[in-house]
Amino acid sequence: MTPVTTITSPGVPLIRDNIDTDTIIPSREMRSTGRTGLAAGLFAPWRYTDADRRIGDATFVLNHRDAIGTRLLLGGRNFGCGSSREHAVWALREYGIECIIAASFAPIFEGNCIRNGLLPVTLPLDVVRSLAWAMVTIDLPAQEVRASGRTHRFAIDAEAKAMLAGGLDAIDLTLTQADAIAAWTAADRAARPWVYPEPASS
């Protein structure tokens, strides 16, 4: 995955509460088990007047001309609730969204974001609203959101920050401790050799 450091983008406001994963990527849009080919179905119920023919709804915020190429989406409370489908994050990432700033996130969705290189930032709802259409810089190392001459600090778990900043998934994160794992295994093998049977000879 690509490491996350700083992201600068207009803040596109989709500030609604309880946006669920079936709205982010409906099940009918999940036509393969892979991580690609999902962006066209992102927010299909809202983005299109006719999803089958991909006729865009001009009133939906992602179809606004100022939203083209955005990397930042602004949300309300409980963003990503509903089912645990990881496809919701895959669709957002394929579309180009690298960060979501919301008042709160559904826990499973937030975890899926972190494991897939999408930065979830929680800020008070009034602050999120103040970022609408502003040019926003999200600085993960400093844990700051900067816009319109103001700076807003955000909290993030140390492990989540390490994964995002290093471009690491859960396996990659474990492998950063490979030397410590090997040392522990060697010590345990010496102390409890019966746990480590020799492989059968051919």
The CATH number for 40's domain is 3.20.19.10
pLDDT tens-place string over residues 28-53: 999 877 889 999 999 999 999 999 99
Within the chain, strands assigned E span 6-14, 48-50, 55-56, 72-75, 99-102, 119-122, 135-139, 144-147, 150-153
| 20 within domain boundaries | yes
Q: 197 lies in a domain?
A: no
201 located within any domain:
no
pLDDT tens digits along 145-159: 999 999 999 999 999
75 within a domain of the structure (yes/no): yes
Q: Is residue 193 part of a domain?
A: no
Query: What is the percentage of the chain residues whose pLDDT exceeds 70?
Result: 99
Give the mean pLDDT of 88-101.
97
Residue 66 counted as domain residue: yes
> Which H helix or E strand runs over 22?
helix 21-24
**What total number of domains does the chain contain?**
1
Structural domain boundaries, residue 49: 6-168
The model's pTM: 0.87
